[in-house]
Amino acid sequence: MEDLIKRLESIFKIVEKKRGKRDNLWILEVEKDSLHAVLSYLKDNESFRHLALISCVDWIENNKFQLSYILWSYQKRQNLIVKIFIDRDKPEFKTVLNLFPQAEIYEREIRELYGVTFEGNPTQFEDFVLEDWEEMPPMRRDFDTLKYSQEKYGDRDSEVLKTNIRKIISDYTDEWRRK
Amino acid sequence: MKEKDYFLDDRPKKLSYSEVWEKFFNWARAQSLWVIAYGTGCGSIEIPPMVTSRFDAERFGVSTVGTPRQADVLIISGYLAVKTLKRVIRVYEQMQSPKYVVGLGACTVNGGMYYDSYNTVNLVDLYIPIDVYVAGCMPRPEAILAGFAQLMKKIKEGRADGWKQYIDNLDKYRKNQEKIIKNWKIPNYNW
């Protein structure tokens, strides 16, 4: 796997490289403008034909979003994670739909949960998991899920809940009979 | 056997014909509960072992059917997202009265481990009436059978009246439903 990293380093600028928890897993950070070139090179010349997942991480301290493209090679049986950082204030990136058609659904999910838009993806604004969502994208770290849940769905310590629990207890202990 | 077991302490009651028939109907209803095969969350994986040969719920008259029109019982099996709640309301309203709802798992009682989730309804009781809760995360098929025994008992005693409450307090339930379903695109009355 080290040979592959060396070959890549001779062509592209690798910002950071790190071995993962296994021998056949490496994590590379590349410049965001060269991502398409790197993915294209890996797909055509190094047999990394399978895009397993695109994931997103919200680094609110650095004001960045991290996009990770997880690749798998069936011939070499190796994993490669190519990650980039984009600006949190301007969450936009270009789609990789021309390289991997399965990216369409991953990008749609990231658009919904993190609000990162992908230029060139035709279906990204359709509802995926959340229907009629009007708030901030929920997986961003400044979204207060507990507060939202209490306001929208009712508090855990509310009267309704206490009646519910009383109902359960009375059902199973036949308390209503004694009244 | 004690002497007291041979006679009744209760005062004599005046029952009208309709009350007698209602008691008879309730007895009959409790013997054949048909469950609609609709799973909303992780608990739906506990339903197949319950109805198949190992736990064999059919010996109690509990069987599964494919359409809401034929069903008596709707099981809310686990967490309920807003997206699922829309479908649950449609299914519940299409069912014929009398109909009963069983809430399965901790999520239906108070949100369970998803109490702070942006997408899980905490108190299902606000949106549709629930007759019997089965607590646990997840309840085993034995617990679900115990819940069904509880439901049968409640039906026989005439206390499983969630569907009557839904008809009486329809405006209240609609208001709660419309509070969390933003674009109400489903028909106002589904029955």
A150 and A124 in one domain? no
A98 and A20 in one domain? yes
Query: Residue A10 is which amino acid?
Result: S
Number of domains composing chain A: 2
Does residue A139 fall inside a structural domain? no
Q: Which helix (H) or strand (E) holds B155?
A: helix B141-156
Strand bridging mode B100-104 / A64-73 = unpaired
The model's pLDDT over B39-70, given as tens digits with 9 standing for 90+, comes to: 888 888 999 999 999 999 999 999 999 999 99
pLDDT band, very low/low/confident/very high, at B183 (cuts 50, 70, 90): confident
Q: What share of chain A is helix, strand, coil (3-state, %, to 5)?
A: 35, 25, 35
Measured between alpha carbons, how far is B174 from A123 in angstroms, rounded to an integer?
33
The predicted structure's pLDDT at residue B136: 86
Q: What is the mean pLDDT of residues A83-98?
A: 93
Q: What is the mean pLDDT of residues A113-135?
A: 88
Averaged pLDDT score across all residues of chain A: 88
Measured between alpha carbons, how far is B84 from A153 in angstroms, rounded to an integer?
14
The predicted structure's pLDDT at residue B191: 65
DSSP B182: S
Contact B83 A131 (CB under 8 A): yes
Measured between alpha carbons, how far is B60 from A2 in angstroms, rounded to an integer?
64
A80 and A30 in one domain? yes
Angle among Cα B183, B189, B190 to the nearest 5 degrees reads 100
Under a CB-based contact definition with an 8 Å cutoff, are residues B133 and B117 in contact?
Answer: no
The CATH number of the domain holding residue A92 is 3.30.460.80
pLDDT band, very low/low/confident/very high, at A119 (cuts 50, 70, 90): very high
Does residue A116 fall inside a structural domain? yes
Measured between alpha carbons, how far is A149 from A156 in angstroms, rounded to an integer?
9
Assign B103 to helix, strand or coil.
strand
Q: What is the value of ipTM here, to two decimals?
A: 0.79
Measured between alpha carbons, how far is B84 from A129 in angstroms, rounded to an integer?
10
Name the interface residues of B facing A (CB cutoff 8 Å). Answer: 82-83, 86, 109-111, 115-123, 125-126, 132-133, 135, 150, 154, 159, 179-183
Neighbour tally for B153: CB within 10 Å: 15
Contact B118 A167 (CB under 8 A): no
Query: Residue B83 is which amino acid?
Result: K
Query: Residue A119 is which amino acid?
Result: E
A158 and A116 in one domain? no
Residue B57's contacts (CB-CB under 8 Å, 6 or more residues apart) are B50, B51, B63, B145, B148
Under a CB-based contact definition with an 8 Å cutoff, are residues B143 and B136 in contact?
Answer: yes
- Which of A161, A171, A172 shows the shortest C-beta gap to B123? A161
The structural domains of chain B, ordered by start, are 32-143+151-180 (3.40.50.12280)
Contact B109 A168 (CB under 8 A): yes
Q: Which helix (H) or strand (E) holds B146?
A: helix B141-156
DSSP for A35-104 reads: HHHHHHHHHHHS---EEEEEEEEEETTTTEEEEEEEEEETTTTEEEEEEEEEESSS-EEE--TTT-TTHH
pLDDT at A177 over 70: no
Does residue A67 fall inside a structural domain? yes
A163 and A124 in one domain? no
Nearest to B118 by CA among A158, A135, A108, A124: A135
B120 vs A contacts (CB less than 8 Å): 149, 153
B86 vs A contacts (CB less than 8 Å): 131
Measured between alpha carbons, how far is A54 from B172 in angstroms, rounded to an integer?
43
* Residue of B79, B107, B116, B121 to mutate, testing the A interface (most A Cβ within 10 Å of its Cβ): B116
A101 and A77 in one domain? yes
pLDDT at B1 over 90: no
pLDDT band, very low/low/confident/very high, at A179 (cuts 50, 70, 90): very low
A105 and A83 in one domain? yes
Name the β-bridge partners of A87: A64
Check residues A154 and B89 and name the one with the higher pLDDT.
B89
Q: Which helix (H) or strand (E) holds B180?
A: helix B170-180
Token pair, residue B35, equals: 């469950």
Assign B177 to helix, strand or coil.
helix
Token pair, residue A90, equals: 């301007």
pLDDT band, very low/low/confident/very high, at B109 (cuts 50, 70, 90): confident
Measured between alpha carbons, how far is A124 from A109 in angstroms, rounded to an integer?
8
A37 and A84 in one domain? yes
The domain of A156 spans 144-179
- Which of B119, B133, B183 shows the shortest C-beta gap to A130? B119
Does residue A138 fall inside a structural domain? no
